[in-house]
Amino acid sequence: MASSTSDNPITALLFGADKPGIVANVASWIFARGGNIRHADQHRDDEASVFFQRVVWMPAEGNDAEAEGQAFAQYARQELGMSCNISLGNECQRVGIMVSKIDHCFHDIALRFRSGEFPGQAVVVVSNHEELADAAASYGLPFHHVPVTKANKAEAEAEQIRIMQEAGVELVVMARYMQVLSQSFLANIGCPVINIHHSFLPAFAGGRPYHQAYERGVKLIGATAHFATADLDEGPIIAQDVARVTHRNGPKDLIRRGKDLEKAVFAQAIRWQLEHRILVYNNKTVVFD
């Protein structure tokens, strides 16, 4: 069945070697097929001579949005030499949440999903502890307890992948999930994974960053949302924010203030990913307005 065009815009994310005429060719292709561009943004990496673009358009009335998107992706790759990812406006991505015991980011995003703030749907919660089972149930989310130890990590991650894939998950978010995901997990999960780290990376990576910050006497603390990689806290950064602190603030003060940053930064990164605004390139991200 052809997709309705009235509520189904097409979004394309493109990147590749910069050359004259990319913007004009993209606009001309859409215009020639009767489409109407709703939003377009672009960026050029001057150091690498790489061009990035995000364009959103409505296909002509009666045209199948999915077919139009596939046709454009083929054109972009074959004629423009650009990498291209396509998404449709009526897609509702299914999101899996990983969490341990610390609950503030979990509650925040669970409420945002329940209120319809995110253009996606939380469908499952996986945890290495049992403490948040009742909280997940209160949001109507299936909860799976998968204990993780050094001895069973491979088997535990295989079970986590099975649960996520059976739920049809298209994005995994680590809501203060206090385990490092292995290269095997990240290679086999089949979708992006976003983590929230409680420091302004690359400062204070690893454990107890607020205590590290206090011991260093910093005047700013921060939070960082990034794509997870097998290297601890080294993945492409999506969003960050900071707050000022003083010598009067102890570790408990830093943790309290940092939690607010974590929630806001994590939510922003998830929203941008669900709205198809992020391109990853050379361990960095381009995030379109």
Catalytic residues: 233
Contacts of 53 (CB under 8 A, 6+ apart): 12, 13, 14, 15, 22, 23, 26, 40, 41, 42, 43
Query: Measured at the alpha carbon of residue 276, what is the angle toward residues 101 and 128, in degrees to the nearest 5?
Result: 15
Instruction: Report in angstroms the alpha-carbon separations of 163 from 35, 124, 156.
Output: 40, 8, 11
Distance CA 153, CA 90 (A): 37
- The β-bridge relationship of strands 10-17 and 50-58 is antiparallel
- For residue 12, what are its two tokens? 């394309």
- The β-bridge relationship of strands 193-197 and 171-174 is parallel
Chain centroid to Cα 282, Å, comes to: 17
Q: Is 97 helix (H, G, I), strand (E, B) or coil?
A: strand
- The β-bridge relationship of strands 50-58 and 120-127 is unpaired
**Of 148, 156, 145, 168, the residue nearest 96 (C-alpha):** 168
Per DSSP, helices labelled H in 94-132 are: 104-114
